[in-house]
Structures are given as C-alpha cells and as structure tokens.
C-alpha cells in the first residue's frame, strides 16, 4: 500500500462523510420524535376537558376512561421526548464530537505522510543533481585527456602547450573524482531515506490511518446500539402506558353511566294520572228507569267542591274575568248521609230528577285537562326566563332542587367548620396573650373574633334556611307519593261509579246526586266561550311575604293573606292559588305556608 496514499486519503474522507451522514439521519429522527411528541401533546390538550372547579357535569365512566387514556397518551408523548433527548445526547452529540476529532486526526496523519513524501523527493533531487554534476565532470575530464593526448603526439606543439593541457587534464580528473564521491554519498543517503520512507515512515502513517478508520467503525457500531437502546429503555414505561389504556377501557361500566344519567335528570315529577271516564249516557238510563218524569223521587248527591268553591267564584273569560251573579242558596228538602265504597261520608240533598238532568245536559262540556296543564307549563316557562336562578332553586325540578340544596348545605357546613376552627384558634391565642402580654395585645384580636362570630351566625342562618327549604322539598315529594298511592286506590275502588258532575252507584238507593245548578246567565251564547270549570280547592295557604305579581299569570298577595290552593307546586317553584273573590294565578311556593287537606279529592 506504499503507493496508495491518495486512495487511502479518499477512503478516510469517505468514512468521515458516512459518519456525518448517519449523524444527519439521527438528527432527522430526533426531529421526528420531537414533532410526534409535540403533536401528541397538542392532541391531548385539544381533547382534555376544560372544566372549572365549579363544573358539576356527570362523571360517566366512559368519560373518565377517555380522560385516563388521554393522560396515558400524554405520558407516552413524554417517553417519545425522552427517546429524542437520549438520541440527541448519546448518539447525535457523540457523533458530532467524534467527527470533529476524526477530521483533526486524519488531517494530522495525512500531513505527516505528505511531509515524508516531500523529504524523500528532496533527497532524490539532491542525489540526481550530484549524479548529473558527476556525469558532466567526467565528460569534461575525457575532453581534457583527449586534448592532452593530441598535443602530446603533435610534433609541432610546444612544450608549454603540452604542459598546460596536462595540468588541465589533472584538474578535470580531480574534479570528476570529487563529484564521483559526492554522487556516491548522495546516492547512499537517498537509498537510505527511501528505505526508511517505504518501510518505516509510510507504514507507520498507514497504520495510524487504519486505527483511526477502525475506531470510526467501532464508534458507528456503538451509535447503532445506542440508537436502539434509547428506544428499548422506554419500552417498559410505554408498556405501562398501554396497560393503563387497557385498564381504562375495562373500567367502563354501562350500568353506572345509566345510573348517573338517571340521577342527573331525575326531576321528581309524578306521572300524569289517568283520564276519568265521563259517562254522559247515565242520565238517559236513569230517566228510563224512573218510568215517568213527573214522579218525584228522592235522590242524593254529594256536594261538589267545584260547585261550592268554583261556581260561586268568578270564571276565566276569553278576554279577562267575566263577572257572574251568584247562584241562589241551596235549599235541600231532606238531608242524610250516604257511604261510598271507600268509607267517606257525604251530605245528601233531595232534588227533582228532571231539573237535574236538564241542568246537567245544559252545562256538561268535555273537559280537557291538558289545556290547563299546557297553560301552567307555559307560565312556568315564562317565569323561568324572567331572570337568574332563584336562591332556593325553586326554578328546578324537585329532585334536582333537593340535590342543589343538599350540596349548598354541605358547603355551608364546611365553611362553618372552618369559621369554628378559626374562632377556637383566636380564643386560644387570646388566652396566650392574656397570660403573656409581651407576646401581643389581646384586644387586637377582638375585631377578628367578632367578625368570625358574625360569620358563624350568618352561616347558621343560611344553613337553617336551606334546611327548611330541603325539608319542604322532601315533605312535598313524600306527600306527593302518598297522595298518588291514595289516588290510585280510590281510582280502583270508585272506577265506573263517578260521573263528570257527581257520583253514583249501581244501587239506586245509594246514588249520590248534586244540587241543580241555577244558571242565571243573561246569554247562553256566552257559555260557549267560558273556560272549563274552576279547579277544586285542595287546601289553603297563608302568605309569609308580600308578592307584587306584576307578571302575567301571577297573583298579587299581601303578607298574612289567606288563599285557596287549587294546584300544587309541580317542582317549578310556583303554586296556583285562588282568592275568595275567585281571582286565580300563580304565587311563589317559598312565599307561602301551605296546608293541604288529608283527602284532596273530597276537600
């Protein structure tokens, strides 16, 4: 390889270029890992829930599992960043440092080789110059010898010319001998330097280049291994991340999610009751069974609350209230009590069948309870849009209102506990100051102690108020449940015996009839525009606070005023009430003290 210096120069340069090429590959891989980790983190940030501490959205197991998966994915992105950092420090950085050192070492070895080659070339030139000089002097000595021999053989030449030619011959011969000796010395020196160059200097330089190239190859091998180790080190943590995702997927519980939906949207409203069967043909059957319409017959009927409370009061008119003259007082001819299958006792009046039938046919109209419910729902919806949520959460359904009140009571209890702990700490500090005045002035703690006591009183009042609202809600839910159960029993017992305007039984002696309605309407055409009969009173209430009732559909009231309850609060915070003069409207449930009858149907 003594004559392959240039090829070795090219090979070592190729090795360094390959090293830098691999370093560039590692750099691009690092950029890919960094970008991948960044995109994963951005993806996690995009889909992570952005909730404030006040958020109360239901925590479904599917949502929790997805959030856990996002957390695991975020950890996975962190491991990709660890891979990139490890590759950058252990592989790319090491390659760049070694490449710089390799270039410096290669440059030094090549310079040494070039210097050795230049020194050998210089020795060769010196030897060649001495050789050429020796050759020239030999030719000059030969010419001087030929000139001397020609003069020596010439008889005409003088002795001085011969002697001069002889001296010139001796001079040239002496110079040729000197150049011969110098040429021999230079030749010997060149041969020695050439042997040293090709057997000692150049092999040593080539050996150094070989070692350098082998170290480069070893370094590449180490970097290849480090490249793989950087990935292998994070595999256990990545496996844990994947296991966490699998556990999150297994934690999804569809039954629990369904229960959360039920708890979240449970309103507490009772389902609507069954529509009663209104038998308009009973009067016809009863008239046929009487045999003659002129024969008076004693019949009894229960006093209908709609007659005693509603008929005597004002009715809802199409364009407002229509004043009606009250019916004449009832004058029963005979009074007795009759028992129904459910055990209730009712007063019975005697009336004429024909009068009752004609009055019943005249005034009987199909009732559509859904109109009233629709109106009530629209009014409640209207008030819900009037302003922010009420303090007692009366704008919410009963079940949601109960949850909100319970949460507020828990928060107030926690605040009260904090204030109590602070008061105890202040009292202890005050005692310490009183025992050791040098530590502080006890009177300086009195304002803070007073403020704490005031806060505790305020919190107790708030807790008491919210507990009262909670008891009210829980009592209404329980009463509504009991009343629905009682209503279902009564419906099963009395099914098929009630008519729209009264009650009757299969036995003629047990028939319950109501008094005839004395209609004093100035114009029968007006009846076509009247609303259905007013609702019966199911209890009474007393106004605790005054209410202005400026909004449409509300009823103004004064503090202490007594009103009839005709429709309970259905969970929206409003109760329908009626004054003694028949005026109806909605009042806030939290503004009144409600007293319901034990049996609202016969109230």
Please check whether residue 381 lies inside any domain of the structure. Answer: no
Nearest to 96 by CA among 32, 34, 33, 27: 27
Q: Which residue's entry shows tokens 């042997």? A: 195
pLDDT of residue 52: 57
What integer is the mean pLDDT of 59-64? Answer: 87
Residue, of 54 and 254, whose pLDDT is higher? 254
Give the pLDDT confidence of 321-370 residue by residue, as tens digits. Answer: 444 444 444 433 333 333 433 443 434 333 344 443 344 444 444 444 44
User: Where residue 516 falls among pLDDT bands split at 50, 70, 90?
Assistant: very low
12-45 confidence digits (pLDDT tens): 999 999 999 999 999 999 999 999 999 999 999 9
Coil vs helix vs strand at 333: coil
Give how far the C-alpha of residue 269 lies from the chain's centroid of Cα atoms, to the nearest Å. 31
- pLDDT value at position 234? 93
- The per-residue pLDDT for 533 is 58
CA angle 96, 99, 103 (to 5 degrees): 145
Give the pLDDT mean for 367-377.
43
Query: What does each C-alpha distance from 152 to 138, 157, 158, 481 come to in angstroms?
Result: 21, 7, 9, 165
Let me know: does 87 contact 25? Beta carbons within 8 Å: no
**Domain's final residue, options 440, 463, 480:** 480
Q: What range defines the domain where residue 442 resides?
A: 391-480
For residue 550, what pLDDT is reported? 79
The confidence score (pLDDT) of residue 568 equals 87
Q: Is the pLDDT of residue 497 over 60?
A: no
Same domain? For 158 and 78 the reply is: yes
- 129 plus 205 within the same structural domain: yes
Are both 468 and 589 inside the same structural domain? no
* Radius of gyration of the chain from its Cα atoms, rounded to whole angstroms: 59
pLDDT of residue 480: 59
pLDDT, tens digit, for every residue of 171-199? 988 998 999 999 999 999 999 999 998 88
CATH of the domain at 143: 1.20.1270.60
Measured CA to CA in angstroms, residue 65 lies from 78, 89, 472 at distances of: 20, 36, 39
Close Cβ partners of 148 (under 8 Å, ≥ 6 residues apart) = 162, 165, 166, 168, 169
Choosing from 260, 293, 324, the residue where a domain stops is 260
Is 269 domain-assigned?
Answer: no
Between CA 395 and CA 375 the distance in angstroms is 17
Q: Which two tokens stand for residue 8?
A: 């070795």
Locate 264 and state its tokens.
Answer: 């979240």
Q: Which stretches does DSSP call E strand in 54-144?
A: none
In this structure, the answer to whether residues 112 and 211 fall within a common structural domain is yes
| Residues above pLDDT 70, as percent of the chain | 69
pLDDT (0 to 100) of residue 169: 87
Name the percent of the chain lying above pLDDT 90.
31
In total, how many domains does the chain have? 3
From the list 368, 276, 351, the residue with the least C-alpha distance to 516 is 351
The whole-angstrom separation of Cα 348 and Cα 326 is 22
Q: Which has more pLDDT, 267 or 329? A: 267
Do both 569 and 469 map to the same domain?
no
> What is the predicted pLDDT for the residue at 55?
53
Q: Domain with 568 in it: what CATH number?
A: 2.30.30.40
User: Quick one: 164 and 240 in the same domain?
Assistant: yes
In a shared domain, residues 564 and 446: no
For residues 44 and 74, the answer to whether their CB atoms sit within 8 Å is yes
Burial label, 348 (beta-carbon count in 10 A; 0-12, 13-18, 19+): buried
479 band by pLDDT with thresholds 50, 70 and 90: low
**pLDDT for res 58:** 55
Residue whose pair of structure tokens reads 């998966």 in the numeric block: 69
Output the six-digit token pair for 267. Answer: 């309103």
What does the mean pLDDT of the chain come to? 75
Tell me whether residue 285 is in a domain: no
Same-domain check for residues 27 and 147: yes
Rounded average pLDDT over 527-552: 74
Dihedral sign (CA 442, 444, 450, 456)? negative
What CA–CA distance (Å, rounded) separates 471 from 409? 12
Same structural domain, 95 and 166: yes
Question: Which tokens belong to 268?
Answer: 């507490």
The dihedral through the CA atoms of 381, 382, 387, 392 has a sign that is negative
Question: How many Å from the N-terminal Cα to the C-terminal Cα in the chain?
Answer: 124
pLDDT classification of 485: cutoffs 50, 70, 90: low
More confident residue, 397 or 114: 114
Q: What is the pTM of this model?
A: 0.48
- What are the C-alpha distances in Å from 420 to residues 228, 254, 427, 455, 465? 62, 43, 11, 10, 19
- Asked if the model's pLDDT at residue 429 lies above 80, the reply is yes
What's the pLDDT score for residue 287? Answer: 53
Coil, strand or helix at 390: coil
**What average pLDDT score do residues 268-293 get?**
67
Q: What is the arithmetic mean of pLDDT over 558-582? A: 88
């Amino acid at each position: 390889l003594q004559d392959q210096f240039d090829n070795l120069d090219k090979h070592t340069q190729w090795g360094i270029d390959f090293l830098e090429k691999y370093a560039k590959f590692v750099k691009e891989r690092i950029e890919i890992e960094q970008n991948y980790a960044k995109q994963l983190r951005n993806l996690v940030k995009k889909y992570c829930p952005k909730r404030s501490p006040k958020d109360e959205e239901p925590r479904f197991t599917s949502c929790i599992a997805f959030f856990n998966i996002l957390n695991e994915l975020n950890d996975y992105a962190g491991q990709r960043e660890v891979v990139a950092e490890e590759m950058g420090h252990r592989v790319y950085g090491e390659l760049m440092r070694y490449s710089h050192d390799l270039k410096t070492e290669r440059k030094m070895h090549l310079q040494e080789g070039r210097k050795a080659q230049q020194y050998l070339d210089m020795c060769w030139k010196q030897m060649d110059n001495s050789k050429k000089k020796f050759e020239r002097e030999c030719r000059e000595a030969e010419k001087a010898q030929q000139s001397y021999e020609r003069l020596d053989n010439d008889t005409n030449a003088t002795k001085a010319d011969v002697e001069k030619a002889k001296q010139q011959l001796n001079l040239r011969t002496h110079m040729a001998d000197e150049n011969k000796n110098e040429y021999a010395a230079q030749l010997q020196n060149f041969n020695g330097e050439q042997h040293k160059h090709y057997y000692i200097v150049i092999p040593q330089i080539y050996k150094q280049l070989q070692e350098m190239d082998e170290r480069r190859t070893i370094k590449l091998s180490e970097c290849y291994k480090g490249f793989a180790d950087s990935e292998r080190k994070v595999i256990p943590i990545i496996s844990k991340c994947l296991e966490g995702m699998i556990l999150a997927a297994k934690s999804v519980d569809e039954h629990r999610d369904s229960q959360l939906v039920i708890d979240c949207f449970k309103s507490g409203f009772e389902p609507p009751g069954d529509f009663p069967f209104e038998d308009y043909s009973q009067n016809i059957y009863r008239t046929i069974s009487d045999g003659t319409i002129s024969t008076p017959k004693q019949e009894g009927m229960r006093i209908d609350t709609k007659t005693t409370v509603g008929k005597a009061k004002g009715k809802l008119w199409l364009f407002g209230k229509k004043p009606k003259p009250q019916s004449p007082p009832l004058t029963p001819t005979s009074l007795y009590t009759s028992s129904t299958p459910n055990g209730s006792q009712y007063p019975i009046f005697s009336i004429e069948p024909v009068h009752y039938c004609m009055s019943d046919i005249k005034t009987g109209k199909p009732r559509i309870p859904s109109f009233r419910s629709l109106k009530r729902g629209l009014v409640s919806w209207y008030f819900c849009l009037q302003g922010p949520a009420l303090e007692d959460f009366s704008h919410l359904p009963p079940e949601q209102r109960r949850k909100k009140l319970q949460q507020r009571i828990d928060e107030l209890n926690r605040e009260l506990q904090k204030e109590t702990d602070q008061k105890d700490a202040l009292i202890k500090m005050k005692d310490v100051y009183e025992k050791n005045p040098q530590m502080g002035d006890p009177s300086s703690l009195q304002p803070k102690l007073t403020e704490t006591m005031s806060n505790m009183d305020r919190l107790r009042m708030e807790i008491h108020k919210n507990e009262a609202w909670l008891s009210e809600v829980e009592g209404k839910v329980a009463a509504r449940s009991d009343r629905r159960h009682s209503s279902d029993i009564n419906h099963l017992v009395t099914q098929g015996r009630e008519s729209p305007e009264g009650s009757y039984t299969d036995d003629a002696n047990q028939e319950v009839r109501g008094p005839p309605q004395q209609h004093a309407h100035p114009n029968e055409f007006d009846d076509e525009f009247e609303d259905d009969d007013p609702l019966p009173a199911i209890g009474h209430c007393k106004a605790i606070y005054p209410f202005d009732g400026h909004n449409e559909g509300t009823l103004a009231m004064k503090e202490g005023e007594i009103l009839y309850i005709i429709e309970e609060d259905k969970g929206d915070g409003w109760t329908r009430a009626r004054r003694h003069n028949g005026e109806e409207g909605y009042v806030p449930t939290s503004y009144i003290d409600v007293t319901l009858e034990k049996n609202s149907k016969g109230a």
